[in-house]
A = this chain, B = another copy of it.
Amino acid sequence: MTLERWQKASEWPLIGAALIFLVAYSIQVIANLSDAEGFWADAVVWASWAVFAVDYAARLWLAPQRGRWFVMNLHELAILALPALRPLRLLRLVLLLKLIHTRAGNALRGKILSYVFGAAAILVYCGALAALDAEQNDPQANIKTFGDALWWALATITTVGYGDHYPVTLVGRLAAAGLMVAGIAVLGVVTASIASWLVETVSTEAAEKSAEETAAALEPLEALEERIEVLTRQVELLTAVLARTTDGARAEPQEDRTS
């Protein structure tokens, strides 16, 4: 089995594991369960972790150059091994946007905007979850409920940043950094899509005008055609006159002319 085949075959199971992880992790974080209370949720989180670990091992095994693959994918090992990076496993859900991809039709800008808003929604949810997980048990933190976490994530990704809630732990701030960068990207894509649409609408008019001008410049071509027709008729006439003049002319040239 090759690496490509494995990745193709494992894509949907991994998204499924990420979804299950999302649900269990959401319950665990939002209910702020202790280890005892959240036994079942914890078990599901570990089960989904096992799926990711198996996938990692399988890909490492199948890689043509294992050493190189290991170095290039160190971040995946970190996400698997470090509990603090757990929320990053949710990023695999961005692959769900492939569904949007298929449904949104052909228009490039429509696809891009769907992607960006889909990714923004996933990021706001996962960023809020990650920040809440990191913050809620910190005595100095001010993000204590999932509602506050979502509100904070929204104010961050739109770069509004009221400052009524803000992360104080390292993991919470890393989640914030991700949301800030995503916010800049969202702003960029929205603006760029509008700009591109405006430029296209205006330049289409310009292109039509330019096409008309080219057509006008090509008008002599038709005049040329007519002129050559006149010339042809004239030569035909000459031939006819000549044929009449030379009484001994034979028929072959007439036949040749049709070839």
Contact = CB atoms under 8 A, between A and B. Distances in A.
Interface of A: 108-109, 112, 147, 151, 154-156, 158-164, 166, 168, 170, 173, 176-177, 180-181, 183-204, 206-207, 210-211, 213-215, 217-218, 220-225, 227-232, 234-246, 248-249, 253, 256-257
- Residue with the highest number of chain B CB atoms closer than 10 Å, among A155, A156, A168: A155
A186 B256 CA distance: 75
Contacts of A206: 200, 203-204, 207
A195 B218 CA distance: 34
17 contacts: A108-B198, A151-B173, A158-B181, A159-B159, A162-B163, A184-B190, A191-B191, A192-B198, A196-B202, A199-B199, A223-B225, A224-B224, A227-B229, A231-B235, A239-B241, A242-B246, A245-B245
Contacts of A155: 161, 176, 180
